[in-house]
Chain A
Amino acid sequence: EAQVTQNPRYLITVTGKKLTVTCSQNMNHEYMSWYRQDPGLGLRQIYYSMNVEVTDKGDVPEGYKVSRKEKRNFPLILESPSPNQTSLYFCASSWGANTGELFFGEGSRLTVL
């Protein structure tokens, strides 16, 4: 089954404690992206990757890091989480950046105390 898998689905952590949200896709997609969803603000792009070893900033990259060492994986790293990073995070993948046909994971709800 074609899918995008995120882990963890739910996480409560404290300010400053590094964490990683993993994302894996099994569709051989070249394009992967991270979004955060906040009430009233819709989805905002954090980082994206056009292919292996190619990553770029989205609209709200501050406080986040990513890596793309393999085609299937695109982890999101919060080196020193802060309360304003409390949000619902989605990973998505696609054949290309502008195809619009994104496949989304089920989301990771992160709370930073």
Chain B
Amino acid sequence: AQSVTQLDSHVSVSEGTPVLLRCNYSSSYSPSLFWYVQHPNKGLQLLLKYTSAATLVKGINGFEAEFKKSETSFHLTKPSAHMSDAAEYFCVVSGGGADGLTFGKGTHLIIQP
């Protein structure tokens, strides 16, 4: 079985300050991990993915995430928030087995001007 927990349902930061969105996972297998972004009235778009290569993964729009096996975490970061980053973010785990993909419940990122 696998699961994913996004530790914050809402995160609010000021424009130009760092962003941290937290994700913990559990999996019986060596997992693949993903972050997706959903802008208002849009479908989800893949931001970045970890698939057992480098533990620090760079994605689109300046986002990156670090896979930490000892902490079972895959937190998403960005050095400097932009107004266009305001969206819903989903952490996703895939154990590779019959469980398929499991989505977190999402973190709503608010950017204050």
On A, residues with C-beta under 8 Å from B are: 4, 40-45, 48, 90, 92, 97-102, 104-107
Q: Which of A42, A100, A106, A107 contacts B34 (CB 8 A)?
A: A100
Closest chain A residue to B32 by CB distance?
A100
- A-B interface pairs (CB < 8 A), number: 55
Do A45 and B100 have beta carbons less than 8 Å apart?
A: yes
Do A106 and B43 have beta carbons less than 8 Å apart?
A: yes
CB distance from B49 to the nearest CB of A (A): 6
On B, residues with C-beta under 8 Å from A are: 9, 32, 34, 36, 41-46, 49, 51, 90, 92, 94-97, 100-101, 103-106
Please give, as numbers and ranges, the residues of chain A lying within 8 Å of B106 by CB-CB distance. Answer: 42
Please give, as numbers and ranges, the residues of chain A lying within 8 Å of B42 by CB-CB distance. Answer: 106-107
Q: Which of B44, B96, B97 contacts A102 (CB 8 A)?
A: B44
CB distance from B43 to the nearest CB of A (A): 3
Q: In the complex where A41-B105, A42-B103, A45-B100 touch, is A104 in contact with B32 (Cβ < 8 A)?
A: no
Docked Cα-Cα span, A42 to B105, in Å, equals: 4
Please give, as numbers and ranges, the residues of chain B lying within 8 Å of A42 by CB-CB distance. Answer: 90, 103-106
Q: Which of A4, A44, A98 contacts B94 (CB 8 A)?
A: A98
CB distance from A43 to the nearest CB of B (A): 4
Given contacts A4-B43, A45-B100, 7 further A-B contacts (CB under 8 A): A42-B90, A48-B100, A98-B96, A99-B94, A100-B32, A102-B46, A104-B45
